[in-house]
Each structure stands twice: as C-alpha cells, then as structure tokens.
Amino acid sequence: MKAGPDRRYTPEFRDSAVKQVIEGGRSVAAVARSLEMSSKSLANWVYRARKGQELVKRAPAQPVSELEAELSRLRQENAKLKLEKEILKKAAAYFARESM
C-alpha cells in the first residue's frame, strides 16, 4: 500500500478495520491510529457498514499517457503559480500602505 491521500485499501483490510470498531468496541480514532490511516476514512466505512451499504470499491487506476501526465503536472504548477502571484500582490499592497 502507498502512503498519503492516494492510498488504496483492500476489501479485507476495510472489513477488518470496521470489525475492530463495531465488534471490538474500539473507537474510530484508536483503530485509525493503530492502522496508521485517516480516521475520516474509517469513520465513513463504519457509517456505511452500520447503514448496511456495501463499501465502495475504487476502479483500478487507468494508466495515463505521457502527455496526460505532463498536462496534469503543468496544470498543478499553473495553479500554484497563480496562488503565489495573488499572495505577492497582496503583500505588495500591504507594504505599500505601511510605507505611506
């Protein structure tokens, strides 16, 4: 399994985690901490299990082409640069007011 927000969990892992909360009587936070996972994800799984809904299984990730990967990277970089530009604009305006 990968670390971070894109982490994928097997159905067996999900079932085991939910059982520890529902049948084991442990808190969501305690189980999530022991499994080194997000307590929000576990809380969602427990909620669905208690509602009788089947856990949603993600479709396997589709391989992306080199161009799609580059486009995605450039879009992320563009968004970051726009944010930095806005921050610099606000900082310049703030310091211009302070120097008056």
- pLDDT tens figures, 9-65: 888 888 889 989 988 888 999 999 988 899 999 999 999 888 886 655 555 566 678
The token pair at 70 is 């580059």
Is residue 3 pLDDT above 60, yes or no? no
Q: Write the CA distances from 96 to 15, 81, 91, 92, 100, integer angstroms.
A: 58, 22, 8, 6, 7
Residue 100 has a pLDDT of 74
For the domain with range 1-60, which CATH number is right: 3.10.20.30, 1.10.287.610, 3.40.630.10, 1.10.10.10?
Answer: 1.10.10.10
Residue 2 has a pLDDT of 43
Domain layout of the chain by residue ranges: 1-60, 62-100
Question: Which of these, 4, 8, 41, 2, lies nearest to 18 by C-alpha position?
Answer: 41
Residue 59 has a pLDDT of 55
The amino acid present at 23, given as its one-letter code, is E
